[in-house]
Structure 1
Amino acid sequence: MQTSVLFWRRTDIEGFERLTLSVGAESVTASSTVLCLEDGGFRLDHHWRLDGGWSAQSVTVERWNGRDHRKLTLERVPGGWEVDGLPRPDLDGADEPDLSVTPFCNTFPIRRTPETPGSTLPLDTAFIDGPAMTVTRSKQRYDRQGPGRVRYIDLGLSIGFEADLRVDERGLVVFYEHLFERVAPPA
């Protein structure tokens, strides 16, 4: 198991994320804390379990906003998805979760987008709004622009939103136009 720590800073508002990523042959796990001034300020922890092909099997999200604490679990089950242990037929067929407060989950479809410039990958997502702690189905598309460059296009809940993304050799976001940039701790 190879473990690394990544940091992202929000570029649209004050916010910061620290994510611990562990990658093995059979599985990938990630645990993260996000601190953000959006929506009155909150702390959000998210924990991911993926298979060896970087397909999300589950994500648990916990949000603290003052005295308000909420927890949400999204899990892939045969034939669909469950939210907090209850079937969600409206999410059936969704390819991956997408959590609004992190660029980490963009890695899952980016790794599956063919490397050839001009290639495209449309997908349905189970979109988790971090501040609101809701799950809704949405559509997205990833267009390969060249090595390490992908264009994200929202075709669902935020239709019209587009952003250029730069990624490293593992498909992890280095720069997400309008929203995130990866930072390194001082040496």
Structure 2
Amino acid sequence: MKTLIWQGIAFQSLEYFSIKENEEVSTVTSKIIGCYENNMYAVDYQLIIDPDWNIQEFTIESEINTVKNTLTGKKHQDEWEIDNVINPDFKGFNFIDISLTPFTNTLPINNLKLIENKSQEIKVIYIDILNNLVKPVTQQYTKTGPYTYHYDNLQTDFKSDIVVDENGLVVNYPKLFDKIAEM
């Protein structure tokens, strides 16, 4: 089991994160609290991940300015059931990207096993918690060094160089997240 704390720079947050791994699945539990653009928020999320770092199931419970919301997702072969309804927009997707945490970058980083100077384009279920939005997004990861990845959102102009540790967990995501504690 690994536990750590990320500080959200842009989103003025703290995230208390833990991952428990066994041979069959990894289970992630996390709590985030923060304040962004007059929105006070709290988020609890749970993820089930297979040994290849593909997301299998998620539950995200959020409260923004006292308004509560729950979002669930479960993978059935290559289809996604989002809030108990199969959503054809996400067929064949292996990853999610939750807006308020750097952890979901670990999923493709560990799954793709890129060698230096190689890139891979992926499709993700993007979950924007503060705007209550779920949509398909195309992203690209390029391994630029032993622990550095260039992230590129192919539908916007957002790009960043992410530094990870030996486990693929984000250490520094410039202007967004920093790991500040680990056990």
TM range, smaller chain: over 0.9
How far the C-alpha of 1:80 sits from its partner, in A, is 1.1
Aligned mates of 2:52, 2:113 — CA distance in 1 = 14
The aligned runs of 1:43-122 (5 Å cut-off) are 43-122=42-121
**Which of 163, 177, 181 is 1:166 aligned to?**
163
How far the C-alpha of 1:184 sits from its partner, in A, is 1.3
How many pairs align? 182
Q: Deviations over 1:124-167 (max 9, x none)?
A: 001111112321000000000010010100012xx110011011
Kept after mapping to 1: 8 A contact 2:78/2:93? no
Moved over 6 A (4+): none
Percent of counterpart pairs with the same letter? 28
**Correspondence 1:177 to 2:174:** yes
Q: Deviations over 1:21-80 (max 9, x none)?
A: 101122100100111102511001110001112111011000112331110001111231
Aligned mates of 1:114, 1:67 — CA distance in 2 = 41
Report the secondary structure of 1:41's partner residue.
strand
Could you tell me which residue of structure 1 aligns to residue 127 of structure 2?
Answer: 128
How far the C-alpha of 1:115 sits from its partner, in A, is 4.1
Q: Deviations over 1:59-108 (max 9, x none)?
A: 10001123311100011112311111101011112231111110111101
Instruction: Give the TM-score, by structure 1 length.
Output: 0.92
Aligned mates of 2:127, 2:108 — CA distance in 1 = 16
Could you tell me which residue of structure 1 aligns to residue 28 of structure 2?
Answer: 30
User: What are the ranges of 5 or more consecutive residues in structure 1 without an aligned counterpart?
Assistant: none
Aligned mates of 1:54, 1:79 — CA distance in 2 = 15
How far the C-alpha of 1:109 sits from its partner, in A, is 0.5
Tell me which of the two structures has the higher relative contact order, counting C-alpha pairs closer than 8 angstroms and 6 or more residues apart: 2
Aligned mates of 1:114, 1:104 — CA distance in 2 = 16
Could you tell me which residue of structure 2 aligns to residue 10 of structure 1?
Answer: 8
Aligned mates of 2:14, 2:144 — CA distance in 1 = 27
User: What are the ranges of 5 or more consecutive residues in structure 2 without an aligned counterpart?
Assistant: none
Instruction: Give the TM-score, by structure 2 length.
Output: 0.94
Aligned mates of 2:91, 2:114 — CA distance in 1 = 28
